[in-house]
Amino acid sequence: MVNSILEERIENRIFIIRGQKVMLDFDLATLYQVDTRDLKRAVRRNIKRFPADFMFVLTRSEYNSLRCQIGTLEKGKHAKYLPYAFTEPGIAMLSSVLHSERAVQVNIVIMRTFIRLRHILFTHKALARKIAELEKKYSKHEGDISVVFKVLKRLMILLPADPEKPKNKIGFLADRN
């Protein structure tokens, strides 16, 4: 139960910036139960572990845009320094520089959340692709199918309404009394 609540909190903190799914330093610090300042300090001390595809600093315009998108970032809060954005591998690397049991446990949940989101996205794309294939497949045959239905309707007109109903005999019946 605790993990599912944590997963939901994590899911709401994943943003797409520069075409990548990322989490911001202050959100990660909250999850790890450390100060943002301490998290950033640990990253700066181990900066070689965080290449550009693991972590990047938001630009001022990215930060302002993000603050407009979500109401939880209050003006003035976290504004002195621009936040770090961590990609999935960067988040995995964080547990190696934050030497706490909490960091390891939270990282496991974060990685599972990223995997689940990736699976949902893959399933959604696969379903959309299947629907497009079916639509394409049957749109080619639409004319053929309509011809088949027209022929069936003509045949229905020519056939008796109820073939199993006995037909009336023609002529007079003699009274045999």
17's enclosing H/E stretch is strand 15-17
How far apart, in whole angstroms, are the C-alpha atoms of residue 82 and residue 80? 7
Whether residue 7 is contained in a domain is answered as yes
Of residues 174 and 78, more confidently modeled: 174
CATH of the domain at 6: 3.10.260
Model confidence at 9, pLDDT cuts 50, 70, 90, reads: confident
Residue 53 is part of which domain span? Answer: 2-128
Q: Is residue 14 part of a domain?
A: yes
The answer, yes or no, to whether residue 84 has pLDDT greater than 90, is yes
pTM passes above 0.85: no
Flag whether 35 is in a domain. Answer: yes
Residue 157 resides in a domain:
no
Domain count for the chain, please give it.
Answer: 1
Which has the closest alpha carbon to 95: 18, 150, 42?
42
